[in-house]
Amino acid sequence: MLLELCRWVQYSPPLVAMRGSPILFPIVATIHLMGLAVVGGSVLLVDLRLLGLGLRRQPVAVLARDADRWLFRGLVVMVSTGILLFMCFATKYYYLTFFWVKMAALCAVIAFTVSVRRRIIMGHEGGVSAASGRLVALVSLALWTTVALGGRYIGFP
Ligand code: HEM
């Protein structure tokens, strides 16, 4: 069923046209990578702060309020360009384990970011232990690294 849908999408006229163009896929892939820089930067800013590295004069909650706005914008770029890249060679990615590892890690890190990580950040100045802040930062960084590595591996199977 899902494979049929992938085949239908991949051979639909807009995606055939995108594959036929020598520049469209590389442009979308480049925008995907630029979105990665925004997501990576906004995640690192807060997680390194939670690890006690950098920007220590800034309360974590204040830092996260601004960084999370960029994280959301970066995610919108990543998901929209990612779906386009996927649809272009959907039947190829369908069989790539790393693609499904990446998608699972992406769902896990988004759920973690809006729940546990947000609670720890909001409670950081108010009594949440520094140790739990560090643990949350390490989990967040590990999940995002899994997403990025998954992306790298699907680009070059
Ligand atoms: C924030 C979330 C995401 C991150 C951090 C991410 C990261 C990456 C990275 C690092 C690459 C390798 C780029 C390269 O080396 O050329 C990549 C490629 C790719 N990503 Fe994502 N990605 C994200 C979301 C998505 C989503 C939601 C999808 C699809 C639904 C997707 C589909 C793809 C595809 C198909 C490629 C391979 C392109 C190729 O064959 O060169 N990505 N991604």
Residue nearest (by alpha carbon) to ligand 1 atom 2: 78
Sign, Cα dihedral of 149, 150, 156, 157: positive
Number of domains comprising the chain:
1
Q: 57 is written with which tokens? A: 């004069």
Ligand 1 atom having least distance to the Cα of 36? 5
**Domain interval for residue 63:** 2-153
The CB of 7 under 6 Å from ligand 1? The reply is no
Q: How far does Cα 123 stand from its chain's mean position?
A: 24
Cβ contacts of 73 within 8 Å, gap of 6 or more: 38
CA 100 to centroid of ligand 1, rounded, Å:
11
pTM of the full structure: 0.89
Cβ contacts of 44 within 8 Å, gap of 6 or more: 141
The CB of 105 under 6 Å from ligand 1? The reply is no
Predicted confidence pLDDT, tens digits, the chain (157 residues): 899 999 999 999 999 999 999 999 999 999 999 999 999 999 999 999 999 887 778 888 889 999 999 999 999 999 999 999 999 999 999 999 999 999 999 999 999 999 999 998 887 666 677 889 999 999 999 999 999 999 999 876 5
Nearest alpha-carbon partner for 11 in 119, 87, 84, 117:
87
